[in-house]
């Protein structure tokens, strides 16, 4: 009989551990060969590892001439000794350490060379080519750095909310109805009936407030929007939270301000290598975020552009840019909340403002010219929710399981959703969110 324990599976040494290892220490590392520079005496081999690239030095006669068999994208295990070095290449991490290799074990070899040159500093491809070749293009340090930062943001989203009394939930993605209605919903055949891919975990977040009070979820959502823009994809990762017993929708905004501050600080601390590689500068997050109503945002944009936006029910892309520029210039914040959107422009579960008829206790958060969050206070009263559904032309009977939570009592509550890919793109000043998505799905793309 064999017994296995967690201690039997070693964790690979990270860049920091290699850098901290004493000169002459023996180490064993594994990875894929990112690039090879052959010289008369041997070669510099750069290995792509889980957290960066490490430089290895091989002599021509290393391990019986194993160096001659190496090719780019070979997966290998190398053993050798730590030596101090000084390298300027930002893709190398650590840059003060190299490994002088004594033995090489080739674990696998590619059947053909990569279809693109992964040794370049920048993978200069048309975006369609990049996405077509995603299983390979993501092996480039710059391409994968964006997703590493997204991972750090998501991990801190979970950590921060968990530390503040939130419980992680997992809601179904095959649903009985769309949380936001409209045409942008995917219909699927579910045995003998029609179901829908989730536009949002909204219904389930609200139900969960009754038994957990504060909940969050990270997971995919689906929007059947046929347009092709740089700011939309049809499947993305939504970072959602919902919190009960709020005194106003501003409690949700305050929670988000602290959350984003933590997420961005964590990304700066844990992803310094990736940020340097990308040449990205994270914003300084102010102690407080400016907040304006939609009407005030229209005035700000109108004053800057000379146009009259006062009758518009929402902010257009140009207005979002103008409001953000104003906020950054006048208030020293790249983040700005915009509140009080019209009832007609917000979902049926959004609470109306009793002091401003026709407008809702809802908000968007704008950052660097783009909306990155939508949130607000929800309706918790059963009769009020039924009446609003009917005013939207919806049949309450079709939402019986959702309304069961209202009928049996819900506390005042609210929440929000952040698009992870869009947030990451704005933080890194990436123009197209497909480049912050591992395998994007849009109206024309179903592979890879």
pLDDT 10s digits, 23-67:
999 999 999 999 999 999 999 999 999 999 999 999 988 777 777
**pTM (two decimals):** 0.94
What integer pLDDT is reported at residue 415 of this predicted model? Answer: 98
What integer pLDDT is reported at residue 180 of this predicted model? Answer: 64
Instruction: Please give the residue that has the higher pLDDT: either 227 or 359.
Output: 359
Q: Which two tokens stand for residue 180?
A: 């936001």
Average pLDDT over residues 72-98: 94
Measured CA to CA, the distance from residue 91 to residue 123 in angstroms comes to 13
Does residue 177 carry a pLDDT above 80?
no
* pLDDT bracket for residue 7 (50, 70, 90): low
Q: Could you tell me what percent of the chain has a pLDDT over 70? A: 98
* pLDDT bracket for residue 232 (50, 70, 90): confident
- The full 3-state SS of 202-236, as one line of letters, equals HHHHHHHHHHHCEEEEEEEEECCCCCCCCCCCCEE
Q: Could you tell me what percent of the chain has a pLDDT over 90? A: 88
What integer pLDDT is reported at residue 12 of this predicted model? Answer: 82
Residue 279: DSSP 8-state: T
Average pLDDT over residues 72-79: 95
Please give the mean pLDDT across all residues of the chain: 94
* pLDDT bracket for residue 6 (50, 70, 90): low
What integer pLDDT is reported at residue 227 of this predicted model? Answer: 76
User: By C-alpha distance, which of 158, 178, 169 is closest to 215?
Assistant: 169
What integer pLDDT is reported at residue 182 of this predicted model? Answer: 61
Quickly tell me which residue has 């994208």 as its tokens. 73
What integer pLDDT is reported at residue 62 of this predicted model? Answer: 75
Residue 77: DSSP 8-state: E
Quickly tell me which residue has 């933590």 as its tokens. 262
Average pLDDT over residues 243-272: 97
* pLDDT bracket for residue 448 (50, 70, 90): very high
Does residue 446 carry a pLDDT above 90?
yes
Average pLDDT over residues 264-288: 95
Measured CA to CA, the distance from residue 400 to residue 408 in angstroms comes to 12
Does residue 4 carry a pLDDT above 90?
no
CA angle 206, 208, 209 (to 5 degrees): 65
* pLDDT bracket for residue 159 (50, 70, 90): very high
pLDDT 10s digits, 181-217:
666 899 999 999 999 999 999 999 999 999 999 999 9
Domains and CATH numbers, the chain: 10-108 (2.40.50.140), 141-436 (3.30.930.10)
Instruction: Tell me the three state secondary structure of residue 293.
Output: strand
Does residue 308 carry a pLDDT above 70?
yes
Measured CA to CA, the distance from residue 94 to residue 23 in angstroms comes to 14
Does residue 323 carry a pLDDT above 90?
yes
pLDDT 10s digits, 95-128:
999 999 999 999 999 999 999 999 999 998 999 9
Instruction: Tell me the three state secondary structure of residue 262.
Output: helix
The count of residues in the chain is 448
Average pLDDT over residues 416-421: 97
Ordered strands of the 193-197 beta sheet: 174-175, 193-197, 187-190
Strands (E), 378-419: 413-419
């Amino acid at each position: 009989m064999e017994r296995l324990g967690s201690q039997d599976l070693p964790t690979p040494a990270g860049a920091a551990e290699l850098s901290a290892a004493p000169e002459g220490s023996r180490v064993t590392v594994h990875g894929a060969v990112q690039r090879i520079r052959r010289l008369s005496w041997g070669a510099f081999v750069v290995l792509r590892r889980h957290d960066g690239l490490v430089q290895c030095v091989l002599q021509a006669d290393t391990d019986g001439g194993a160096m001659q068999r190496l090719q780019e994208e070979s997966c290998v295990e190398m053993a050798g000794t730590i030596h101090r070095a000084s390298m300027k290449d930002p893709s190398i991490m650590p840059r003060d350490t190299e490994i002088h290799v004594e033995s090489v074990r080739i674990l696998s070899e590619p059947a053909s060379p990569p279809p693109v040159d992964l040794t370049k500093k920048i993978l200069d491809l048309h975006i369609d080519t990049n996405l077509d070749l995603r299983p390979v293009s993501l092996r480039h340090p710059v391409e994968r750095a964006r997703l590493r930062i997204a991972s750090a943001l998501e991990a801190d989203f979970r950590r921060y909310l968990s530390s503040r009394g939130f419980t992680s939930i997992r809601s179904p993605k095959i649903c009985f109805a769309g949380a936001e209605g409209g045409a942008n919903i995917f219909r699927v055949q579910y045995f003998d009936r029609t179901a829908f891919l989730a536009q949002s975990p909204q219904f389930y977040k609200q139900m969960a407030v009754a038994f957990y009070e504060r909940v969050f979820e990270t997971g995919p959502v689906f929007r059947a929007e046929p347009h092709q823009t740089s700011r939309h994809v049809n499947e993305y990762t939504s970072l959602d939270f919902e919190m009960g017993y709020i005194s106003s929708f501003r409690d949700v905004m305050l929670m988000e301000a602290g959350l984003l501050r933590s997420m961005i600080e964590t990304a700066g601390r844990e992803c310094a290598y990736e940020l340097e590689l990308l040449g990205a500068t994270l914003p300084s997050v102010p102690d407080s975020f400016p907040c304006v109503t939609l009407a005030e945002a229209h005035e700000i944009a109108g004053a800057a552009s000379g146009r009259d936006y006062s009758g518009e029910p929402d902010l257009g892309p140009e207005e979002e840019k103008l409001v953000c520029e104003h906020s950054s210039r006048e208030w020293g914040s790249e983040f700005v909340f915009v509140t009080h959107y019209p009832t007609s422009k917000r979902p049926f579960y959004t609470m109306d403002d009793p002091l401003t008829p026709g407008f809702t206790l809802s908000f968007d958060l704008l950052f660097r010219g783009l909306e990155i969050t939508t949130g607000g206070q929800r309706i918790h009263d059963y009769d009020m929710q039924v009446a609003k559904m009917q005013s939207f032309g919806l049949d309450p009977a079709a939402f019986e399981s959702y309304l069961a939570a209202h009928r049996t009592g819900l506390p005042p509550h609210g929440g929000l959703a952040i698009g992870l890919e869009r947030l990451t793109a704005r933080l890194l000043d990436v123009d197209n969110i497909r480049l912050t998505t591992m395998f994007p799905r849009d109206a024309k793309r179903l592979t890879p």
